Chains A and B, each alone.
Chain A
Amino acid sequence: MVNTTIELGRGLVLRNPVMTASGTFGYGEEYTDFVDLSQLGGIIVKGTTLHPREGNPYPRMAETPSGMLNCVGLQNKGVQYFIDTIYPRIKDFDTNVLLNLSGSTLENYVKGAEMVNELEKIPAIELNVSCPNVKQGGMAFGVTTTGIAQVVSEVRKVYHKHLMVKLSPNVTNIAEIALAAEASGADSVSLINTLMGMAIDAEKRKPKLSVITGGVSGACVKPVALRMVWQVAKAVKIPVVGLGGISNAIDAVEFMLAGASAIEIGTANFIDPAVSAKVARGIIEYCENFGFESVTDLIGALEC
């Protein structure tokens, strides 16, 4: 019997290392025909901002080699709507429900975090300081050490549960950013958010996305994500949550070997909506096959 429990700190305990990434799993409800949510360590619901946002115009998506681009632009109905309408429907899911919180100003991050702090069944925020798709989607905070220190320390003052900070890969040195988040009070960091990219329709001589650039996700980003997780895990003492192109259990194990304590599954949910539970089972099989008694033994077990 493999022990699959992962403790990420400040009361956030996952029954296994597998979570679903924000923006790829709706509010969990969209996937209950395919996945028994109790088989997951947690779900991270879609990026929510203090005020409602309509997001970017259509088209918001383009397929790319082994991946996709999106420029959704944080479409959501705001924190209050989440509290009033969505939270009552999902709060009793038999898994951890984390909220991905985004913002455009420091005040909005803080106000949003204060409101979410009151929600008994939300054990953690994933602080999104890395959305590349809106002018003030937080990436301005997420790409400098001073910016991230500012937003994390201010949110930390009002948010008393587990604070996970989602990092942007669109930086020169992601380990420095992670260290700044850690020093400012983050309980964990998750990485990577999408890589900025673009796609062009050569026949029409036009960009394929309405706002020209977007975020790349899917299998194609995995090597980049794995490298960044490895770099960050070496640098920080807080747990690292790895994501970026994970499509199966072996991908997930690779991220854990590189130093991730838990992982998130994102774009792969679009191709196989049942993939998250399969990955959770597959990690156990890997542990059984290779004689690991606990999934925690995989964390940073890379030999090099």
Chain B
Amino acid sequence: MKQIKEFKLVEKRDFGRSVLLRLQSEQRLPDIEPGQFVQVRVDGSPSTYLRRPISIHNVDFQKNEVDLLVQQVGEGTRHLAKASVGDLINIMLPLGNGFSMPEEGQKVLLVGGGIGIAPLFYFAKVLNENGVQPVLILGGKTKSDLLRLEEYQQLGETFVTTEDGSLGEKGFVTMHSVWKERTFDKIYVCGPKPMMKAVAKIATEKDIWCEVSLENLMACGLGACLCCVEDTNDGHVCVCKEGPVFNTRRLKW
């Protein structure tokens, strides 16, 4: 069941352009699947009217904590990043669908680009809990885009690309040598749309099952306003309700 709750900001980690917000609820969290997202109300920012959809970076059900990894891209997220420990933040959750869980023994690849690595953390953690060790390819423009890299590395074998070559192999995630060396049964992708399309193309060529997580502009987050639609084989569908995770076979990419 979806809820709106005031969460208390209990910890904040600064990563420059991005910030990790650890938010705690006084009540028990609802079930949250990897890949789902929240809508955050941005209080006190005159130019921010609508909530901001943010992917769920991690969940601690024991402590009733949800982590959000927020990149400052506009006024709303800039304001959100200024929140102080102790502040109350109004959150609507959990929204959308989650990644499909792979079957036992399947070889799983997670590909994240930029801030798109955020939901893959929680997903990789849940995969580990279910006995699946994923391989990760994480990409950024530069070294400082690879947030929490050591922690990702603990969740699976992790390969890195940067566009400027400051860390890992130089280039895009689709150019990493691991693509030639390994085979995978399932690929999960989150990042900028051109990057997701490029990975989806590889998946189609190799006939590999692939899911992508979209981040279309949205208003309600509940499937009511029909603003965030993506073109699919079933026509325009809401990313907030039928997504954000889609099998690439369903998309008209």
Contact = CB atoms under 8 A, between A and B. Distances in A.
Interface of A: 23-26, 30-31, 33-34, 46, 54-55, 57-68, 70, 72, 75, 218-219, 267, 269-274
B4 A72 contact: no
Nearest to A52: B235
A46 B226 CA distance: 10
A270 B4 contact: no
B224 A60 contact: no
Contact of B49 (A31, A59, A67): A67
B220 A24 contact: yes
Contact of B224 (A30, A63, A65, A68): A30
A60 B4 CA distance: 26
Interface stretch (B99-107, B157-165, B211-219): B211-219
Given A34-B2, A61-B218, A269 B227 contact: no
A58 B4 contact: no
B92 interface: yes
Contacts of B2: 33-34
Contacts, number: 96
A121 B49 CA distance: 36
Interface of B: 1-4, 41, 46-51, 92, 216-231, 235-236, 241
A31 B241 CA distance: 12
A75 B236 contact: yes
B217 A61 contact: yes
Contacts of B231: 57-58
Contacts of B216: 58-59
Given A26-B224, A55-B236, A61-B219, A219 B229 contact: no
26 contacts: A23-B226, A25-B224, A26-B222, A30-B223, A33-B1, A33-B3, A54-B236, A58-B217, A58-B230, A58-B231, A58-B236, A60-B229, A61-B217, A61-B218, A61-B225, A61-B227, A61-B228, A64-B49, A65-B49, A66-B46, A218-B49, A219-B49, A269-B220, A270-B51, A270-B219, A271-B41
A274 B223 CA distance: 15
Given A31-B222, A55-B236, 17 more contacts: A23-B224, A24-B224, A30-B223, A30-B224, A33-B2, A46-B226, A57-B231, A58-B229, A63-B50, A68-B49, A70-B219, A70-B227, A72-B225, A75-B226, A218-B49, A270-B50, A271-B51
Contacts of B236: 54-55, 58, 75
A218 B49 CA distance: 9
**What are the 7 A-B residue pairs with the smallest beta carbon separation, nearest first?**
A61-B227, A26-B224, A33-B2, A270-B220, A30-B222, A270-B219, A60-B227
A265 to B, nearest CB: 12
Given A55-B229, A58-B230, A269 B224 contact: yes
B49 A66 contact: yes
A31 B224 contact: yes
A195 to B, nearest CB: 15
B14 to A, nearest CB: 26
A33 to B, nearest CB: 4
Given A270-B51, A272-B4, A59 B225 contact: no
A72 B220 CA distance: 13
A273 B223 CA distance: 12
Nearest to A75: B226
Nearest to A70: B227
Contacts of A267: 219
Given A54-B235, A55-B236, A61-B217, A270 B1 contact: no
B45 to A, nearest CB: 11
A273 B51 CA distance: 11
B164 to A, nearest CB: 22
Contacts of A23: 224-226
B139 to A, nearest CB: 24
Given A61-B218, A273-B4, A75 B229 contact: yes
A250 B230 CA distance: 37
A98 to B, nearest CB: 16
Most chain B CB inside 10 Å of its own CB: which residue of A26, A31, A267: A26
A271 B224 contact: no
B128 to A, nearest CB: 31
Contacts of A33: 1-3
B147 to A, nearest CB: 25
A65 B45 CA distance: 11
Given A33-B1, A269-B220, A68 B226 contact: no
Contacts of B48: 63
A24 B49 contact: no
A67 B47 CA distance: 9
Contact of B217 (A24, A54, A59, A274): A59
A65 B51 contact: no
Contacts of A26: 222-224
A18 to B, nearest CB: 17
A23 B238 CA distance: 13
